[in-house]
Amino acid sequence: MARTITAELFASLDLVVEAPETWHFDWVSDEMLAEVAQEQGEASALLLGRRTYEVFAGSWPDRGDEVPLARRLNAMPKTVVSSSLHAPTWHNTEVARFGDLAAMKERGEGRITVAGSIRLVESLIAAGLLDELRILTHPAILGSGRRLFDTYTGPRVDLDLVEARTLERGVQLTIHRPTTRNE
């Protein structure tokens, strides 16, 4: 049985997904932290694009074992998808090319989770490799920044909404899965 790949993105109401580390903290709640920690805790591996990897590798290792999510992220196997990164510095990280991901999905067991990495998420969707998309929409309009799917050029993908709920501070969690439609 193939592994599943899920992605989790923070978005504003105007669907800005770029650099959430600069805007989303006003809406972080214990409930949101528990949701993110559960998503990461159930995963057997973390998959990141190069830019997100650089942000994570520059912050999570310094947070130490007293922060449960940091302990989990620092220990788990990580793969960064990049053609320009050759020597990752974060413990337990390997570099892969996008073309390697289909084979990686077929190897082993468990769930692979993607944190952020919008270009990677778009590519996974276009290639039919993403099994679940989780979006945490924050009640803010940012006005500028990269928007969700604003450069997507892949095929049409229909999604089923499998869950929607409002978390503390008005953050909306929606979970979507690609639909297989008979044509």
Q: State the pTM of this model.
A: 0.89
- Tell me: pLDDT of 47 over 70: yes
Taking a C-beta distance cutoff of 8 angstroms, is the pair 35, 167 a contact? yes
Structural domains for the chain = 4-178 (3.40.430.10)
pLDDT tens-place string over residues 131-159: 999 999 999 999 999 999 998 999 999 99
Question: Is the separation of the CB atoms in 164 and 174 below 8 Å?
Answer: yes
User: Number of helices (H) and strands (E), helices first, in the chain?
Assistant: 5, 8
pLDDT of residue 73: 87
> Residue 19's pLDDT band (boundaries 50, 70, 90)?
confident
DSSP string, 117-152: -HHHHHHHHHTT---EEEEEEES----SSPBTTTT-
